[in-house]
Structure formats: C-alpha cells, structure tokens
Amino acid sequence: MKSIWTIFLKEAKDTLRDRRTIIMMVGIPLLLIPILMIAMTKIGESQAEKELELKLTVALVHGNLAPGLAEVIASQNSIELVSVVSEDSAKAQISRDDLDAVFVVSPDFDSKIALNAPGVITMIHNTGDITSQAVRRMRAIPGQYEASLLAERYEKLEIDPSINKAVDLVENNLASQRKLHR
C-alpha cells in the first residue's frame, strides 16, 4: 500500500511541475465553461424570439356562428387567418403542413351563447410540427374571445364585471433598480 502512495505522490508532483498540464486542467475549463454558458443562453434567447415571431397560419370553421372570433384571430401578431370549407379539409391541410391549426366552432355555439351557457371551440393542431410557444399563442385566442363575450354578458345583465374578481394581487418588488436592470 505504501508503494502505491509513493507512486501517487511522485506522479502528482510531476504533474504540478508541468505548466502546460496545469493550464489544461485549470485554466482552459475556467475560460471555456463561462463562454459556453453565455453562448447557450444567447442561443436560447434567440430561439425564443424566433418562436414569438413565427408566422402561424390558422383557419376558422363555422366562424359565422361566433361573431367577433375572426377579428380576434386576425388581430394577433404573426397569425394569418385563412378560410377553409370544412373541418376535414382543415385536418388534411394540417397533415400536409399547409395550416398550423384550425379553430372549429361547434354548430350550437351561437344558441348556447344566447342562453348564457358556454359554447365549444375546438382547436386542432399537430404539436409535432409547431413549437410549444406557438401552441400557447393559439390557446390564448379563445381566452381573449371569451373575455369579450363575458364583457357583453355583464353589460347585458347590468352586472359589474368586477364581481367575477375575488382577489386583487398587489405586488411589491423590493429589488433595487440595479438588480432589476441586470
């Protein structure tokens, strides 16, 4: 056992004497790791920006049953609204990558909305072909349309929209200006 320890100490001493070995073991990793981390962060940020700017092609089936939905879709940044004849046609176009998604308004949508019941809008997409950020952007569309429908309902029923809000979040950030702008 003593001979192994002696050999280890001799090798360690020889290694520490050699400047090139020390530079390779310590210096290069100290330089490369931060550079690689910064590069990976920049690449991630640039990919996220590209996903936000990605132009999506979306169709609306039975849009006449949901007045205002086409306007909500058309008002979105980087989303192009195209018309299709049927749900089957839209599904085929999604499979061919001609469309990113389709919103299908249920045939009884307008009658349910008139009864103050929830109407159904189905979003059909192929997640394998588009990013999760793009899916989130498209999922926000029915929420925006729902907000406009709820505003109309509140106005028609003469109800204060704030009745639907039970909690107001007040946020106090104690971070200094210097920390906020890092």
| pLDDT confidence of residue 129 | 61
- Domain range list for the chain: 2-51, 54-162
**Can you give the pTM of this predicted structure?**
0.65
Strand (E) or helix (H) holding 102: strand 101-105
Q: State both tokens at 36.
A: 């690689």
pLDDT digits (tens, 9 = 90+) for 122-170: 998 887 766 777 888 888 899 999 999 988 888 888 888 888 777 878 8
**In the predicted model, what is the mean pLDDT of residues 19-45?**
86
d(CA 133, CA 122): 19
Alpha carbon distances (Å) from 91 to 1, 86, 137, 139: 73, 9, 20, 18
54-162: which CATH topology? D-Maltodextrin-Binding Protein; domain 2 (3.40.190)
Task: Say which residue, 103 or 179, is predicted with more confidence.
Answer: 103
